[in-house]
Amino acid sequence: MSTVAPTSFDLGRSGRAFADAKASGRGALVGFLHVGYPDVATSLAAVQALCGTGGGGDGEQPGVDLVEVGMPYSDPMMDGVTVQRAGTKALARGVRTRDAFAAVEAVASTGTQAVVMTYWNLIEQYGPDRFCRDLAAAGGSGAITPDLTPDEAGAWIAASDAHGLDRIFLVSPSSTDERITSTLAACRGWVYATAVMGVTGTRSQTSSAAPALVQRIRRADPTAMVGVGLGISNGTQAREVIGYADAAIVGSALVATLLAAEDAGTPDDLTGLRAVVADLAAGVRLGGAAPVPSA
């Protein structure tokens, strides 16, 4: 007898981007950058650069399917050294919550979907309903809240429902089956599967725990869209992840290119960023679509 859970996952807008990629025979790519680093204006150009210049034909360069606009925070518990360094600089240079909406609008203007990745305190201080109103007005699809669990997210669920926004919660290899099930029920769009226990950062190889975690998510709801993050740094690793998940999520490897450009005295040089995006985009295309789980 089949033990597959009901197929009821709400794809929202951001999950639909994953589904569209799968329908075209490839995996999806999600890219993260902080707003405000190296400065607000350059960060807006950088998030647009993530989006590429088209589908890859006739000289066009494919980009990400979804942009995570990071909101720098003073106590970023999930961020590794690379992302923390950029976020700390952005805070010192005066970035504000409202700048995230400008970044979302810049991404939306390219036709690419954007979500904000932020710690709950920033939303709470801004006001959950006001935050959702302004995010929706900027063209955003939703938000990832890494430090907020569904059982503590009443205000966020109400506000995101009121403004039609997706909400992406996290699960990890240590999550119980019950926690995975309850998290999926609270998500809209997709679920963020952290491939390792720890903070963000590039790694020489992808996590062996990630495939098992995705398999557990599939058992809980085969229709859930799953993005895997923490540790992916190149197209080869992205291709490996797309073999079992719907999307590969990349942050530190992208942020590192901006740090390197500033260290070289050319903070507005996005050449390195574009090269890494091209490699990652090629990886998810060679990987094809994630396999459909069996009953």
Q: Which residues are catalytic?
A: 68, 79
Distances 229 to 66, 125, 188, 214 between C-alpha atoms, Å: 13, 27, 18, 12
Question: What is the amino acid identity at position 150?
Answer: P
d(CA 126, CA 159): 12
Crossing angle for the helix pair 252-263 and 81-92, to the nearest 10 degrees:
60
Q: Where are the alpha helices (DSSP H) in the chain?
A: 14-23, 40-50, 81-92, 97-108, 120-126, 128-137, 154-162, 177-186, 209-220, 235-242, 252-263, 271-287
For residue 5, the SS3 value is coil
